[in-house]
A = this chain, B = another copy of it.
Amino acid sequence: MGLLDYFRASRSKKGSAVVARERLQILVAHDRAERDRPSYLPKLQEELIAVISKYVKIDRSKVSVNLERGDRQDILELNIVLSEDTVPSR
């Protein structure tokens, strides 16, 4: 798929200069058949973070959120820098 190609390309460009750090990037794109329907992505965002927190320790101050709303497409992007210790306390 196109998104995977994009990731592969951006990886190979960086080559050996990649900084070793824990990072999680989440992208949700919703293509709508009808215009101007209310978006559920803002609500979804909180639930996504809650789900992911089960697997990795997330510092909320390290989460950057980008929400783009268009006529036919909404895109939610979350960029999360993970703690050194990424195992959540259970």
Chain A, residues 39-83, CB within 8 Å of chain B (1/0): the string is 010011001100110111000000000101010110101010000
Q: How far is the CA of A10 from the CA of B58 in the complex (A)?
A: 31
Q: Which residues of B contact A17 (CB under 8 A)?
A: none
Q: How large is the interface on A (under 10, 10 to 19, 20 to 34, 35 or more residues)?
A: 35 or more
Q: Which residues of B contact A77 (CB under 8 A)?
A: 1, 3-4
Q: How far is the CA of A18 from the CA of B72 in the complex (A)?
A: 10
- Contact between A33 and B20, CB atoms less than 8 A apart: yes
Chain A, residues 18-38, CB within 8 Å of chain B (1/0): the string is 101111111111111110000
Rank and list the top 4 A-B pairs by shortest CB-CB distance, nearest first.
A40-B55, A23-B31, A27-B27, A25-B29
